Amino acid sequence: MGEVKVLGFWSSPFVHRVIWALKLKGISYEYIEVDRHNKGDLLLQSNPVYKKVPVLIHGGRAIAESTIILQYIEDTWPHNPLLPKDNHQKALARFWIKFGEDSIASITDLFLRPCKDEQERASAWKRAQETVTVIEEQGLGDEKFFGGNNIGMVDIAYGCLSHWLEGLEEIAGRKLIEPNKFPRLHAWTQNFKQVPVIRENLPDYGKLLIHLQWRMQQ
């Protein structure tokens, strides 16, 4: 099937999406760490449009953008499926992946982008809570994972709401996904991190906190 390489940066949740998917599929790959400040020829040649990670190189051919890479992995290695077999359920999964792509940035930006004043901060916090409510009530529902009892592509797409968001919450001293307000989504963040493939392939939390603190000061 050809050699598989992943170009990544250690702290990126988008890179970890690709790593988790490959691990769940049991696909061997070579991981190549990219210097974000000196990106190098391989990254620039592999992703000349966005010039960023992750990039999957399979048999010498490059694919960029994490959700597109996830779909490529699913199509190329259909064993251990990450999407439902039923076409309607598959479409719903893709809908929630798209919803996450459109909305998760507004949650992380709440911590990473400074607000002009208290009014703007309160408004941003309210929007983030509304987004989390939709994800919990309509996306996750009463299931353990987004697809039921087993982890799937939607869970992978929302992975940054666990390890990474928890780090941002700790630094900011304010919790968005509170267990008493969003009990099902909070439980999901813990269940997600307890999946062996996820637990064994998370960035070191202490090191991540330092990196996130640096990001918040930029």
Digitized pLDDT (tens) for each residue of the chain, 218 residues in all? 579 999 999 999 999 999 999 999 999 999 999 998 899 999 999 999 999 999 999 999 999 999 999 999 999 999 999 999 999 999 999 999 999 999 998 898 888 887 778 888 899 899 999 999 999 999 999 999 998 999 999 999 999 999 999 999 999 999 999 999 999 999 999 999 999 999 999 999 999 999 999 998 87
In 3D, which of 47, 41, 81, 40 has the Cα closest to residue 61? 47
Domains of the chain: 4-76 (3.40.30.10), 87-217 (1.20.1050.10)
Cα(167)–Cα(159) distance, integer angstroms: 13
CA distance linking residue 15 with residue 141, whole number of Å: 27
